[in-house]
Structure 1
Amino acid sequence: MHNEMIRIALTENEQWWGGAVGDGIHMPFGSRSYQRDLFGDAAYNQACPLLLSNKGRSIWSEEPFRFAFEGSELVVEGKAGTIKVEQGGDDLRDAFRYASKTYFPASGTLPDEVFFAVPQYNTWMEMGIHPTQEKVLAYAEAIIGSGLPPGILMIDDNWHEDYGTLVFHPGRFPDPKAMIEQLHALGFRVMLWVCPFISPDGEVFRYLHEQGYLLREADGRPVIRKWWNGYSAVLDGSNEEAMSWFTGVLDRLMDQYGVDGFKLDAGDPQYYEATDVGARPATPNEQCEIWARLGLRYAFNEYRACWKLAGQPLVQRLADKNHSWGTDGLASLIPNGLAQGLIGYAFNCPDMVGGGQYGDLIRPDFQVDGELFVRYAQCSALFPMMQFSTAPWRVLGESHLALCIEAAQLHCRMGDEITELARHAAATGEPIMRHMAYVFPSAGYETITDQFMLGDNILVAPVIQKGATARNIVFPEGTWIGDDGSEVVGPCEAEVEAPLSRLPWYCRG
């Protein structure tokens, strides 16, 4: 796959971003050794064949490439003739705008605007693979009963029969149409979880195999691939008739039951092999891209894994995080969220408040850290979107629950502002959640990864350290009016009080 190598000399103080969102915690690149091969590996999140420099340079390829920072050089290996190294301006913003306009222009459309104005709620952490109609309705009623606002409710894995048999399980969901009507009446939009895996040996599997809609081994046998829920066959994204069959199933769910949209999970390049045989040759990355392209049919969509398709109206959630203060949990939200925006995924969402790793909840020794849960909620509140799953009313005491409700209400109050930024992103491709160095390119803010800008005029500085009741904030030039009414004149660094009841954020005066 990689048959051309380009060596690029780094300039003084040059820093880079891009590649895989999961590497956001290691960005910016340039001051230390780092490497990533994007072929067949998106780090179980979004990835794009793009690198951007704070000196205005960009690297793009239509094909996945390998890159490595080695001393004073950036080494890029990829398909001969596909790697573009260009000077798009003088700074990070210039580099992004050039790359976006040239290689992934904004579509002019955005996901449904509801995403930016209300929280999302996902059944995963409360129900795992055992959702039922009764549990879903109880969950929705408890959301409202606890004081949280209604929003978008995603019914996660196993609402259906076998994987690929996308009909409501009659034992667990005896009257899905009535359930969805009731959820709509409560103020929720309803999305269903789906994936490209097909349970082997079932009726749907046999039909798809006979039609040639499944990926095959070289000898013609259907591929049976290991994934997090076991072993399954895989839908062939390169087969247009197969994808038409799948979207027909999804469309019928919308028509028959009033479903609003879909969480399209999996599709990671890691679940495909270069040796897979389909209707036409397709790399693992191409299969991931085709799966992501499905979501363009639906205004209510969500992805965790995506290859390319930057600038498109797809909701991109960060990968599942642990219930942790570290870079496997809360500390990763801001740097990885910034990475999403810088590689063209403007409509981004953090992971579920408190962390979305189901393994945490089923550990016998697992304990919810109330302080951490609140700081997760606060950190998420001024992202373009926010999502709950673990029920805060179940795991938190009264005071911690009240603070999570405040965070959700803040997100709702800021909905008009965030929606306007989303419209701007749809028109220009620019991130909604922006790196400090993106907005203030000459201030030396490249290594700041614990605060961010919402647009150009709102500075957000969540507390992400356990036990902290104050934090240091870097204020750019200008006057900044705080959520607490305080006024700070920059440029300066200042320590501000941030008890557990406060998410520090400031508007440019």
Structure 2
Amino acid sequence: MVRTHLRGRRRGAFLAASLSLLLLPPLTGLRPAPPATAAAPVTSDAASGAGVTETPGAVSLTVRPTRTSPGYTVDVAKGEFTLTTRRAGTTVLESATADTGGLRFRSRGTWQHATALTGWSFERGVLTLTADTTLDGATVEARLTPAADRYQLDWDVKGGSPEQLGLAFDLASAGHWYGHGETETPAGGPYGDQPWPLDSGEVGHENFGPASYDMIDPFWYTSRSTGLRVDTGHVMNVAINEGGEDGTGRFTVESADTYRATVFVESTPLEVYRDYIGIVGKPAKSDAGYEQYAKPLWNSWAQFYTKVDQARLLDYATDLKKNGLDGHTIQLDDKWESNYGNLTFDPVAYPDPKGMSEAIHDMGFDFGLWVTLWINLDSENHDYAADHGYLLKDAEDPTKPCEVTWWNGTAGIVDLADPDARAWYEGRLRTLMSTYHIDGLKFDTRFFDEKCAPHDGYQATDYQRLGSELADRFDLQGAGIRVHWGETAHRAGFVTRQIDKGTGWNSLRASVTQNLAISTIGYPFIESDMIGGSNGEAPPAKDVLVRWAQSASLMPLMYGSTSPVDTIDATTGRKVVYDQETIDLYREAIQRHKRLAPYIWDQVQHTLRTGDPIMRPLFFDFPGDRKSYTVTDEWMLGPAVLAAPQLGAGATRTVHLPPGAWYDVNRGTVIRGPRTLGGCPAPLGVTPAFIRLGAKGAAQAIKALRRPGTPAATG
């Protein structure tokens, strides 16, 4: 290994010495890595405003600042082939060095990486670099294409039979890291853990790809206002802070294809986010209407799981109605079918589904159903769909239907790329809805699985688009849909519901940081998992349920299941009854959210114009406030509302306020920030929130959130 590295450096030195005796280096074409002695402009590109300079230790690509972008320099070290991005002379992103290597690849089961720079050229605005590697016979060619606020980094391995290509970065070089979406972590993510920032924990996401059930995008951004987007349709292996302390971020694509990435360099994290949205697109509409933002959706899943029937669902809806627990929809989740994929009601559990629907409508609710494209092998529809070629084929044996295992058995998946299959499936849904007066659907599971082969002429990523197009034909009732990783998913404007959470404090806290992560990769219409959590655990304690409802009341949408009247303990089958205070405080949270709905709806319209997230970290609005970058239990809801609900046990909490004048809606006082408030009162009946005076919508938010009897805002 070492000998390969040194051989490359000696060869570069020999070439430089020989050429310097014969002729001056040309302005274009391959240049030997060891350069002339002084740093001086070698060549430039007028279109990008970029120039290249050489020093004995590096080749540097510099983009001048403009009125709207800060400019940057990328230094390519010759000895170890590291890429160091600097803004105004300060390092803001650096590739990994030493054993890991910044440009790394796997060959014959062993990791290798680029070592010494052996040559470079700058032609037509592209800086092309060649480097030796730790593997004999393999070299790296990288191409940097600069623009005002970013550069494209594409690279390949020549020789060596690579299997996977990856980038690795020193996490600390960029400050803190964010983005990614729902994280798989050794500490229980994404169900009960979501590190914020990412580098504060450990992320080990081996199947990070377009068919994942996790809400993810290959986009990361940092507190030093850089960003990374990997442009791939392949599965990735993402490892951040492996072992909890290695300080490296590894972004590996499970393919030997050209590695394509964009590195953003901006002045604030919000501008990096906006750059990314400029590529993938902003929502063209909101899938949810005003009422779905104003009132909660009630779904049966965490209340009953699969032990639900007609009588229980009607009793559930009746209790909600009787106790003034408003909502726009009662949605019947999993286990209503006679068998998975039949799309017919179980006649024993649901003797009169049409009468059930009418009774729910008479209470003032819409009625919705859970559905999936996954058809179990023992369903009568499976044989029909297989015989007609409507199912995805097996990736290893395309002569037979693909079979996938899920939480309800083994199934085939309707192939949405087949027009006949799509028409058949959609026709079945339409018939079901018209027969039983069903107003909308909750689509669950995935639209593709890597065990299956895409339809001829399609790729795995196309199924995110196809699933989006199917779901967009139906009212999703604020349950939204879990599609990601592509322009269609961003532009469709679906509500995004989180993956299932547990029912404890850790899951409540994870629901907040996970919303921040999902929102800031371009999915702004977000809600937490069902209030109180689910995941087959015992029902939430009273305090957890109330605090979760209070937290959700200050998010874009509310998504309920566990009734504050009574529920069923999935672990014992016993009924759990909450007290009157639980009902009253949950109702108060619903009413607070409803009063705030006009303000939230204004934020929805703003997002449709700009793509900016509604629920966002404090540092998006206050990039100069360093403490904001590590706050995990507060957020901005639009420009005026700072939400700081209690997310744990106790009657007080610490609140950080960024710069500005803040109106405390519970105490009626005005506080000047930046300031950290210790011992802020937060008994069970109080939801801490602060209004930024002078911000757009501040008066509207104060009217909605001001506690009765508190002094009006002044100052």
1:298 corresponds, among 463, 468, 474, to: 474
Secondary structure of the 1:6 match is: strand
For residues 399 and 346 of structure 1, do their structure 2 counterparts lie closer, same or farther at Cα, with a shift above 3 Å needed?
Answer: same
Counting only pairs closer than 5 Å after superposition, residues 372-451 of structure 1 correspond to structure 2 as 372-394=544-566, 395-444=577-626, 445-451=628-634
Is 1:20 matched up with 2:166?
no
| One-letter amino acid matched to 1:440 | F
Same amino acid, percent of matched pairs: 27
| One-letter amino acid matched to 1:216 | K
Unaligned 5+ segments in structure 1 are 362-367
Q: In 2, distance between residues paired with 1:449 and 1:292?
A: 31
Is 1:317 matched up with 2:497?
yes
Secondary structure of the 2:543 match is: helix
1:79-115 CA deviation, whole Å, 9 max, x = no partner? 5446332325211110111111222333234322222
Report the equivalent of 1:337. Answer: 515
Out of 155-164 and 63-72, give the one that drifted further.
Answer: 63-72
Larger helix proportion of the pair: 1
Secondary structure of the 1:5 match is: strand
| One-letter amino acid matched to 2:541 | D
| One-letter amino acid matched to 2:467 | W
Is 1:58 matched up with 2:58?
no
Q: In 1, distance between residues paired with 2:371 and 2:179?
A: 28
Report the equivalent of 2:72. Answer: none
Q: In 1, distance between residues paired with 2:212 and 2:510?
A: 14
1:296-331 CA deviation, whole Å, 9 max, x = no partner? 2224253564332124221211111111112xx112
Out of 231-240 and 332-341, give the one that drifted further.
Answer: 231-240
Once the 2 structures are TM-superposed, how far is the Cα of residue 347 of structure 1 from its aligned partner? 1.0
Secondary structure of the 2:565 match is: helix
Q: In 1, distance between residues paired with 2:676 and 2:332?
A: 44
| One-letter amino acid matched to 1:450 | D
Counting only pairs closer than 5 Å after superposition, residues 243-254 of structure 1 correspond to structure 2 as 243-254=422-433
Once the 2 structures are TM-superposed, how far is the Cα of residue 342 of structure 1 from its aligned partner? 0.7
Equivalent pairs, count: 497
Is 1:497 matched up with 2:497?
no
For residues 383 and 76 of structure 1, do their structure 2 counterparts lie closer, same or farther at Cα, with a shift above 3 Å needed?
Answer: same
**8 Å CA contact retained: 1:46, 1:307:** yes
Once the 2 structures are TM-superposed, how far is the Cα of residue 247 of structure 1 from its aligned partner? 2.1
1:357-376 CA deviation, whole Å, 9 max, x = no partner? 23435xxxxxx521121111
Secondary structure of the 1:310 match is: helix
Secondary structure of the 2:623 match is: coil
2:317 corresponds, among 140, 144, 151, to: 140
Report the equivalent of 1:112. Answer: 289
For residues 241 and 18 of structure 1, do their structure 2 counterparts lie closer, same or farther at Cα, with a shift above 3 Å needed?
Answer: farther
**8 Å CA contact retained: 1:341, 1:348:** yes
Secondary structure of the 1:135 match is: helix
Once the 2 structures are TM-superposed, how far is the Cα of residue 279 of structure 1 from its aligned partner? 2.6
**8 Å CA contact retained: 2:480, 2:494:** yes
1:394-420 CA deviation, whole Å, 9 max, x = no partner? 131111221111111111111111122
| One-letter amino acid matched to 1:391 | S
Counting only pairs closer than 5 Å after superposition, residues 61-460 of structure 1 correspond to structure 2 as 61-63=231-233, 64-69=235-240, 74-78=249-253, 80-81=257-258, 83-87=260-264, 89-217=266-394, 218-219=396-397, 220-267=399-446, 272-274=449-451, 276-280=452-456, 286-287=462-463, 290-301=466-477, 302-303=479-480, 305-308=482-485, 309-326=489-506, 329-360=507-538, 368-394=540-566, 395-444=577-626, 445-460=628-643
Unaligned 5+ segments in structure 2 are 1-161, 185-192, 567-576, 694-715
Out of 234-243 and 94-103, give the one that drifted further.
Answer: 234-243
For residues 205 and 58 of structure 1, do their structure 2 counterparts lie closer, same or farther at Cα, with a shift above 3 Å needed?
Answer: same
Larger strand proportion of the pair: 2
For residues 74 and 199 of structure 1, do their structure 2 counterparts lie closer, same or farther at Cα, with a shift above 3 Å needed?
Answer: closer
Identify which of structures 1 and 2 has the higher relative contact order when contacts are C-alpha pairs closer than 8 Å and 6+ apart. Answer: 1
1:131-187 CA deviation, whole Å, 9 max, x = no partner? 333322222121011121132221101222221111233333343334333323322
For residues 499 and 246 of structure 1, do their structure 2 counterparts lie closer, same or farther at Cα, with a shift above 3 Å needed?
Answer: same
TM-score (norm 1): 0.90
| One-letter amino acid matched to 2:595 | R
Secondary structure of the 1:192 match is: strand
| One-letter amino acid matched to 1:50 | F
| One-letter amino acid matched to 1:415 | A
Out of 63-72 and 199-208, give the one that drifted further.
Answer: 63-72
Q: In 2, distance between residues paired with 1:38 and 1:289?
A: 20
Q: In 2, distance between residues paired with 1:427 and 1:167?
A: 42
| One-letter amino acid matched to 1:231 | T
Q: In 1, distance between residues paired with 2:509 and 2:657?
A: 20
Secondary structure of the 1:464 match is: coil
